[in-house]
Amino acid sequence: MFDWNDLRYFLAVQRSGTLAAAAAGLTINATTVGRRLAALEEQVGARLYDRTPEGWLLTQAGRDLLPYAERMEREVLAVERRVAGADDRASGVVRLATTETLATRFLAPYLPRFHDLHPALTLEVTCAVRRVELGRREADIVLRLTRPREPDVVVRKLVQIDLALYASRAYVAKHGRPARPDESLDGHRLIRFADTPPFALENAWFEPRLVGSLTVLRSDSVNSIYSAALAGAGIALLPRRIADTEPQLVHLGNQTAPEPRTVWQGVHKDLARSARIRAVSEFISEVVARAL
């Protein structure tokens, strides 16, 4: 009889392709993953992976085991969710996966009030770029700028975030304002989003206005872009509800902007009844709406 935890390591390696990546996802060291896989192979009496320069590839025995391991994982996770969802105590740990900006700008300022209301709850916040799966208990709640599409997830639309062009007062004093910010940013320094799919809308809006401009920074961190704009590095697209409260930033008067981003909250249906999940969900809904 083998240990279910060993199957977790088996699945993690299959999904990530290497020991190191599997260990990072499980927040343990690679040596432990390798040792547990070796123990599983000994228990089943077969080699489950071929170790190749390209990564760890399933053997035929590993491919035979895979659907059973995935089925066991689904059943174990379903039991965990059901038990956790029936918990009527607002205590323990709630794991929230969100973006860096939502965590630092919208949630963190309200945490003292949250802990006054729920002193027995601990928030564990992950600002991961990768997609987090609620069905696998990788998080209890997600707060994202894209709608969760995972099955069996209760989705809630919270608010929209409008963007606009800003620069620091120091930048405007030195370089002036764009004469026609809706048409051209010619002659100006720009701080732009990374050239990655999550920022496709914002990058597409910038594209026809780039002629004659100089991009001085690109980043996948909205906080980094905000800080660079505040320091006077250039012009940036920033969330209005944040930038309008900063006296050192100047709205440059653009009338057009990328489509507003929507803040979505997702919770697996099995956990939605849990007292601690409800407490955090209601807190998030309240403070995000208030902040925006």
Q: Are residues 139 and 175 in the same domain?
A: no
In whole angstroms, give the CA distance from residue 178 to residue 252.
8
Q: Are residues 279 and 243 in the same domain?
A: no
- pTM confidence score: 0.68
Assign 65 to helix, strand or coil: helix
Q: Are residues 111 and 197 in the same domain?
A: no
pLDDT at 247: 96
Q: Is residue 70 part of a domain?
A: yes
Q: Which of 62, 85, 108 is the last residue of a domain?
A: 85
Q: Are residues 246 and 176 in the same domain?
A: yes
Q: Are residues 223 and 171 in the same domain?
A: yes
Q: Are residues 227 and 286 in the same domain?
A: no
Q: Is residue 145 part of a domain?
A: yes
Q: Are residues 255 and 199 in the same domain?
A: yes
Assign 262 to helix, strand or coil: strand
Structural domain harbouring 50:
4-85
What stretch of H or E contains 78?
helix 60-85
What is the 3-state composition of the chain as percent helix, strand, coil, each rounded to the nearest 5?
45, 25, 35
Q: Are residues 172 and 252 in the same domain?
A: yes
Q: Are residues 141 and 199 in the same domain?
A: no
In whole angstroms, give the CA distance from residue 124 to residue 114.
13
Q: Are residues 62 and 118 in the same domain?
A: no
Distances from the Cα of 292 to the Cαs of 162, 243, 288, in angstroms?
9, 11, 6
In whole angstroms, give the CA distance from residue 119 to residue 115.
5
Q: Is residue 156 part of a domain?
A: no
Q: Is residue 158 part of a domain?
A: no
Q: Is residue 20 part of a domain?
A: yes
In whole angstroms, give the CA distance from residue 102 to residue 126.
11
pLDDT at 167: 98
What stretch of H or E contains 93?
strand 92-97
86-98 per-residue burial string, b: 16 or more CB within 10 A, e: under 16: eeeebeeebbbbb
Q: Into how many domains does the chain fold?
A: 3
Instruction: CATH number of the domain at 59, please.
Output: 1.10.10.10
**153-161 and 49-52: which strand pairing?**
unpaired
- Residue 89 — φ and ψ, nearest 5°? -105, 130
Return the structure tokens found at 155: 């989705």
Q: Is residue 235 part of a domain?
A: yes
pLDDT at 41: 84
Q: Are residues 53 and 80 in the same domain?
A: yes
pLDDT at 286: 83
pLDDT in tens, the chain (292 residues): 566 778 888 888 888 888 888 888 777 888 888 888 888 888 888 888 888 877 888 888 888 888 888 888 776 776 665 665 555 566 788 999 999 888 988 888 889 988 888 899 999 999 877 778 888 788 999 999 889 888 889 999 998 899 999 999 999 999 999 999 999 999 999 999 999 988 999 999 999 999 999 999 999 999 999 999 999 999 999 999 889 999 999 999 999 999 999 999 999 888 888 888 888 988 888 887 676 5
In whole angstroms, give the CA distance from residue 273 to residue 277.
7
Assign 280 to helix, strand or coil: helix
Burial of 153 (0-12, 13-18, 19+ CB in 10 A): buried
Instruction: CATH number of the domain at 99, please.
Output: 3.40.190.10
Q: Which of 32, 57, 85 is the last residue of a domain?
A: 85
Q: Are residues 240 and 282 in the same domain?
A: no
What stretch of H or E contains 159?
strand 153-161
**249-251 and 261-268: which strand pairing?**
unpaired
pLDDT at 1: 56
DSSP state of 248: T
Q: Is residue 194 part of a domain?
A: yes
